Amino acid sequence: MGELALDGPELAELAGLYRELHANPELSGAEHRTAAEIARRVEKLGYQVTTGVGGTGVVGVLRNGEGPTVLLRADFDGLPVREETGLPYASTAVGVDPDGKEVPVMHACGHDMHVTCLVGALGLLVRGRKAWSGTVLAVFQPAEETGTGALAMVADGLFERFGRPDVVLGQHVAPYPAGMVGLHAGPAFAATDALRIRMFGKGAHGSRPESAIDPVVMAAATVLRLQTVVSREIAATETAVVTVGSLHAGTKDNIIPAEAELRVNIRSYTPEVRAAVLAGVERIVRAEAAASGAVREPEFTPLDSFPVLVNDHAAVDRARAALVARLGERSVVDPGPVTGSEDVGAFGAAAGVPTCYWLFGGADPAEYARAEAAGRVAQDVPSNHSPHFAPVIEPTLSTGITALVTVATAWLGRD
């Protein structure tokens, strides 16, 4: 089974699927076209397909005798980002965000590659079914970017309807050289807390600031002070991130507005650090509002939330051994904890089974090597959520397919 691979025409067809998905992204919860295309492709491979699970989720099941049930997961929502890759298949799509605003949409996180790799892996598993025994539970999940998709599928009876897996497996494309795979045991992806914060001042004419309480200055002071939460309140041996990703206030240069809105993103790995950061953020926001003479207390609204993704040690050991045997030791690394977040762990937690989630590179190896030699990887290699992010199709696609099949059959393979 480990030597089974897709031929040239099959890879070409999958590359076409990738380009089609990349050119037609959809926002979280609105992935109707994508879900229909996934369902069509997976059903054609011979899987029993169910759509509309947890919203737009798609589930494919292939039962192949006695043995473990392995859940293979791919997510498929896009992001409100205007693509700037210049690719011939670049997205020009638009969508409507939760606030009712029309926004550009892009597969800026590589979910289109995740889907394509899983479809390719499902095809290989069908072809090689004489070499393994058990059940493949393919889960194509919507709304990962909002942290709601996995829980919605679980709440919609995923395991009651399709069976409880013995392990949850999945992967995420990353700005590493294509051909590389990275696994880290223990806390592997950070928890996320996203907040909307409203700060209230008093509006006035821009020429008469003495008659106003300026929420723009209030918010600006808050943004700067929030940078001290991690640098001065969290131990150097711990990890946390506080990012103000959005600040909105006012409509015109000569009008002092009455309020400002900040959107804050917090990353952490432990409950203690999470609690300390959240408390620090709230304390600073309230203190800056009071120092500015705010007319009322700030408002805090929780937005997206992701738990820490913890990779099971034994599952990672099994996956790593299989990947090293298939790809070679130099191609399998430990990237350490990632400060990005993922909701795939919700499947393993709900089922009470191990989760093993890994990274696979999507950057052109030659371009990555040049950037690394120049000490400019962070500057020259686009990362996830960048308007310039687009994995090179090969060898990203073949590596992702190989990794999924290799790790899946580490559980499904016959003695």
Q: Which two tokens stand for residue 271?
A: 């409950």
Tokens 């009651």, residue? 160
- For residues 50 and 148, the answer to whether their CB atoms sit within 8 Å is no
Angle between helix axes 393-412 and 111-127 (nearest 10 degrees) is 50
Q: Which two tokens stand for residue 413?
A: 């393979």
Is 109 flagged in the annotation as binding? yes
Distance CA 47, CA 24 (A): 24
Q: Which two tokens stand for residue 415?
A: 């003695």
Question: What's the Cα-to-Cα distance from 367 to each of 298, 348, 370, 374, 379, rounded to whole Å?
Answer: 47, 36, 5, 11, 12
Exposure b/e, 147-176, CB count within 10 A at least 16 = b? bbbbbbbbeeebbeebeebbbbbbbbbbbb
Q: Which of 121, 79, 156 is nearest to 340 (CA)?
A: 79
- For residues 394 and 11, the answer to whether their CB atoms sit within 8 Å is yes
Is 114 flagged in the annotation as binding? no
Q: Which of 310, 353, 345, 302 is nearest to 149 (CA)?
A: 345
Question: What's the Cα-to-Cα distance from 305 to each of 97, 157, 194, 277, 328, rounded to whole Å?
Answer: 18, 21, 6, 14, 37
Is 184 flagged in the annotation as binding? no
Q: Which two tokens stand for residue 126?
A: 């069908």
Q: Would you list which residues are annotated within the binding site for Mn(2+)?
A: 109, 111, 145, 172, 385
Q: Would you list which residues are annotated within the binding site?
A: 109, 111, 145, 172, 385
